[in-house]
Amino acid sequence: MIGFIGLGVMGEPICRNLAKKSAEKVLAFDLKQAPLARLKADGVEAAASVRELAERCHMVFLSLPGVTEVKTVCAGPGSLMLHMHSGGYVVDLSTTTVALARDLHSRFTARGIYFADAPVARTRSAAEKGTLLTMVGSTEPIFKRLRPWLAHFATDIAHCGATGAGQATKLINNMVLFQNVLALAEALALARKAGLSATKVFETLARGSADSFALRNHGMNAMVPDDYPENAFPVSYALKDLEYLFEFARQVKIELPGARQVMAALERAAVAGNREKYFPVLAKTL
């Protein structure tokens, strides 16, 4: 049986794809009952606890908010580390720190359990369609073992290197994305101040050298229409990921001035009451 813990914005659709495409039954756990109720229609069974899931599943996927939740699920009371059987696999799809990924790998390995960090990228829509990108940190044999399972929800599967490399690559990905969004916010402000049509400006940029994933998704779908829902990747998550990024940067002794500018813009958005809104909302407080 396959286990899945964390049924949030990305976790629920990823779990649904696993249930629909995998030959094995899926057992899921979340603190909220609503996603478990929705997934029941897809054949997903609800676990009463992390311990139950750990004892019944040979492979467990995590999709959790951050370091605190991953630590609790993996190594806290009633955790995977205490109750999962030797020879099992834990695949962390969450975005956490490089240091945590390496620590969990070491501790799970000591108990005979295989661990891989495999954070995902792209949008909720991509999660629903099963077209995510996943960045995997693991040994080559573990990567080969996991790849068929990851293919149930990801069309692009990158083996980034040893344990921690998946998280490092995801943090770099988010750094570049956030800086692109900040640049788009400045472009949007300039266009509107000059009396130009933001829609026409962004459509034109998408046909030239300024085109990007951020422009076509965050820019056109959120920033131009001023649509920043709360059921999407929020400012609070972006700030969390930047903290993880700066921790990693300190470890390798590098300064990231562009990322610091994004952090300041996101902090302004949070102070303005937008902490739980979709993170491109930083455009409103530029």
Read off the tokens for 67.
């370091």
Q: Taking 90 as the threshold, does the pLDDT of residue 188 lie above it?
A: yes
| Pair (156, 110) in one structural domain | yes
Read off the tokens for 205.
């940029």
| Pair (29, 148) in one structural domain | yes
The residues annotated as belonging to the active site are 170
When pLDDT is cut at 50, 70 and 90, the band that residue 209 belongs to is: very high
When pLDDT is cut at 50, 70 and 90, the band that residue 286 belongs to is: confident
Residue length of the chain: 286
3-state secondary structure (DSSP) of residue 116: strand
Q: Taking 90 as the threshold, does the pLDDT of residue 212 lie above it?
A: yes
Q: Which residues pair with 4 in a beta bridge?
A: 28, 61
When pLDDT is cut at 50, 70 and 90, the band that residue 231 belongs to is: confident
CA dihedral over 161, 154, 170, 69, signed as positive or negative: negative
| Strand-strand pairing, 132-137 and 120-121 | antiparallel
- Tens digits of per-residue pLDDT, 233-266? 999 999 999 999 999 999 999 999 999 999 999 9
| Pair (156, 119) in one structural domain | yes
For residue 122, the model assigns a pLDDT of 95
Q: What is the mean pLDDT of residues 201-213?
A: 98
Residue 217 near residue 181, CB atoms below 8 Å:
no
% of the chain surpassing 70 pLDDT: 100
When pLDDT is cut at 50, 70 and 90, the band that residue 213 belongs to is: very high
For residue 248, the model assigns a pLDDT of 98
Residue 174 sits in a domain of what CATH number? 1.10.1040.10
Rounded Cα distance, 37 and 39, in Å: 6
Long-range contact set of residues 30-38: C-beta below 8 Å, sequence gap at least 24: 30/5, 30/6, 32/7, 35/7, 35/8, 35/11, 36/7, 38/12
Q: Taking 90 as the threshold, does the pLDDT of residue 6 lie above it?
A: yes
Q: What is the mean pLDDT of residues 202-213?
A: 98
| Pair (6, 142) in one structural domain | yes
| Pair (64, 113) in one structural domain | yes
Residue 76 sits in a domain of what CATH number? 3.40.50.720
| Pair (201, 99) in one structural domain | no
CA 21 to chain centre: 21
Identify the domain containing residue 222 by its residue range. Answer: 168-285
| Pair (142, 218) in one structural domain | no
For residue 157, the model assigns a pLDDT of 98
- Tens digits of per-residue pLDDT, 10-31? 999 999 999 999 999 999 999 9
3-state secondary structure (DSSP) of residue 106: helix
Q: How many domains does the chain have?
A: 2
Residue 273 near residue 215, CB atoms below 8 Å:
no
When pLDDT is cut at 50, 70 and 90, the band that residue 67 belongs to is: very high
At 114, give phi and psi (nearest 5°): -85, 140
| Pair (133, 202) in one structural domain | no
Domain end: 116, 131, 162, which one? 162
Instruction: Tell me whether residue 242 is exposed, middle or buried, using C-beta atoms within 10 angstroms of its C-beta: 0 to 12, 13 to 18, 19 or more.
Output: buried
| Pair (82, 118) in one structural domain | yes
Nearest residue to 219 (alpha-carbon basis) of 243, 241, 200, 196: 200
Q: Taking 90 as the threshold, does the pLDDT of residue 89 lie above it?
A: yes
Q: Taking 90 as the threshold, does the pLDDT of residue 230 lie above it?
A: yes
For residue 233, the model assigns a pLDDT of 94
| Pair (134, 20) in one structural domain | yes
| Pair (46, 108) in one structural domain | yes
Domain end: 139, 162, 185, which one? 162
Rounded Cα distance, 38 and 11, in Å: 13
Domain end: 119, 140, 162, which one? 162
| Pair (6, 40) in one structural domain | yes
Read off the tokens for 263.
């952090």
- Tens digits of per-residue pLDDT, 105-125? 999 999 999 999 999 999 999
